[in-house]
C-alpha cells in the first residue's frame, strides 16, 4: 500500500511519488512511457494516474493504469472520480482496477466536465461527496484509499474550517492518507497540516502528502493556477516574471531554470518540515522533476544522462 511504500527504504532524503495523466494520443503515450521508465529507475514510493471521466478517456485510463500495475515494478494508484457515474458504474470501475491488481485508489468527487467552477450536479444514482466514495470502496474489499486535500482550501468550501472538517471526515471514513492539490506557498501547506492535527490528532497523524511541480512555463502555470482557483505567491510570480522577460515570447529556458530552483527550495523546506513524501505532478515529463530530485540528493541512476 501507499502507506507501506512511503515507510519503506528509499534513496535520498525523503520518499517521492509521481503523478501522470492518461495520454490522449500516441505521441503522448510514448512520452508517458518514457517518463515512467525514467522514474522507475529512481524507485518512487508510488506513481498515480489521474482519472478522466469521458467515455473513451475512461477506457484508456483503466487500460494505462493496468499496464502501469502489470508491466512495471511500480506501486500504482488509480484516481477515481464520482462525476457522472452511478454507484453501479463506480463499483464496476473499482472491480476493473482490482482485476488488474490495483488496490490503491485515490477517491475524488471530480469537477463538472468543461467548467471546473461550474455547478456540480450529482448523478441521480451516484454519490455526492468523496466521503461516500471512500465508504463505497471500503465496502467492496481490501483496498487502500487516499483522498484529496487543499492547502488553500477547496474552492467550494465556505471557509478553511469547513474544508478541514471535510478532510477529517474523509480520513475518518477510512482514507489512509491524503495528497494535496498543487501549491506554491509552503505556509499554506503547513497551516493545513496544523489545522488537521488540531481538529483530530488521530487523523492528523495520517500522511499528508504535498503535491508540487517544477514550473517550466509561466503561461501554462498561470492557466493551471487559474483553473484550480489558487494563487501564485507574489515572490514566486515576480521571480518567474523577471525570468520570462518582457519580449513577445517568454524566455522558456530562463523560466524553467527558475522553476526548478523554486521547486527545489520548496522541497527542501518541506523535507525540513518532516513531510512523509513529495508528490510531483510530472505532466508526463521526466526531466524537470528528475533535475529537482537529483538536486535533493535522490539517486537518479544516470536518468539525466543524454539518451
Helix axes 234-244, 218-228, angle to 10 degrees: 150
31 binds ligand FAD (CB under 6 A): no
Name the one range near ligand FAD by CB under 6 A: 39-47, 90-98, 161-169, 231-239.
161-169
Contact 299, 12 (CB under 8 A): yes
Contact 76, 102 (CB under 8 A): yes
Backbone φ and ψ for 99, nearest 5 degrees, come out as: -60, -30
204 binds ligand FAD (CB under 6 A): no
Would you say 81 or 104 has its CB closer to ligand FAD? 81
Q: Which of 65, 108, 270, 288 binds ligand FAD (CB under 6 A)?
A: 108
Would you say 10 or 58 has its CB closer to ligand FAD? 58
* Residues ≥6 apart with Cβ < 8 Å to 65: 49, 76, 78, 97, 100, 102
Name the one range near ligand FAD by CB under 6 A: 4-12, 62-70, 174-182, 296-304.
174-182
Contact 298, 12 (CB under 8 A): yes
Parallel, antiparallel or unpaired: strands 144-149 and 208-212: unpaired
287 class by beta-carbon count within 10 Å (0-12 exposed, 13-18 middle, 19+ buried): middle
79 binds ligand FAD (CB under 6 A): yes
Contact 93, 123 (CB under 8 A): no
Residues with a catalytic annotation lie at 19
Contact 181, 229 (CB under 8 A): no
Which of positions 239-278 make contact with ligand FAD (CB under 6 A)? none
Would you say 108 or 298 has its CB closer to ligand FAD? 108
Name the one range near ligand FAD by CB under 6 A: 65-73, 148-156, 215-223, 251-259.
148-156
Would you say 80 or 215 has its CB closer to ligand FAD? 80
50 binds ligand FAD (CB under 6 A): yes
Q: Which of 44, 110, 210, 214 binds ligand FAD (CB under 6 A)?
A: 110
Give the binding site for ligand FAD (CB under 6 A).
50-51, 79, 81, 108-111, 129-131, 148, 154, 156-157, 162-163, 166, 170, 179-181, 211
Amino acid at each position: 500500500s501507499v502507506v507501506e511504500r512511503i515507510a519503506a527504504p528509499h534513496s535520498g532524503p525523503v520518499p517521492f511519488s509521481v503523478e501522470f495523466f492518461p495520454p490522449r494520443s500516441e505521441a503522448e503515450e510514448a512520452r508517458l512511457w518514457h517518463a515512467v521508465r525514467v522514474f522507475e529507475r529512481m524507485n518512487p514510493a508510488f506513481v498515480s494516474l489521474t482519472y478522466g471521466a469521458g467515455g473513451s478517456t475512461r477506457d484508456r485510463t483503466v487500460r494505462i493504469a493496468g499496464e502501469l500495475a502489470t508491466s512495471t515494478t511500480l506501486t500504482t494508484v488509480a484516481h477515481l472520480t464520482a462525476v457522472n457515474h452511478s454507484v453501479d458504474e463506480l463499483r464496476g470501475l473499482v472491480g476493473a482496477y482490482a482485476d488488474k491488481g490495483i488496490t490503491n485508489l485515490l477517491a475524488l468527487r471530480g469537477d463538472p466536465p468543461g467548467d471546473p467552477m461550474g455547478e456540480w450536479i450529482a448523478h441521480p444514482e451516484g454519490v455526492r461527496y468523496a466521503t461516500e466514495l471512500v465508504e463505497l470502496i471500503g465496502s467492496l474489499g481490501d483496498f487502500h484509499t487516499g483522498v484529496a486535500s487543499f492547502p488553500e482550501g477547496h474552492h467550494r468550501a465556505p471557509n478553511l474550517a469547513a474544508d478541514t472538517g471535510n478532510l477529517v471526515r474523509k480520513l475518518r471514513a477510512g482514507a489512509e492518507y491524503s495528497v494535496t492539490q498543487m501549491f506554491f506557498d509552503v505556509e499554506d501547506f503547513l497551516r493545513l497540516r496544523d489545522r488537521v492535527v488540531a481538529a483530530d490528532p488521530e487523523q492528523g497523524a495520517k500522511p499528508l502528502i504535498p503535491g508540487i511541480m517544477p514550473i517550466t512555463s509561466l503561461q501554462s502555470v498561470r492557466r493551471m493556477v487559474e483553473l484550480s482557483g489558487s494563487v501564485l505567491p507574489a515572490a514566486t510570480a515576480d521571480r518567474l516574471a523577471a525570468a520570462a522577460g518582457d519580449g513577445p515570447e517568454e524566455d522558456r529556458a530562463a523560466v524553467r531554470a527558475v522553476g526548478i530552483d523554486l521547486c527545489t527550495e520548496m522541497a527542501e523546506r518541506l523535507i525540513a518540515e518532516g513531510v512523509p513524501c513529495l508528490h510531483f505532478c510530472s505532466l508526463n515529463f521526466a526531466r524537470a522533476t528528475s533535475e529537482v530530485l537529483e538536486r535533493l540528493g535522490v539517486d537518479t541512476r544516470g536518468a539525466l544522462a543524454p539518451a
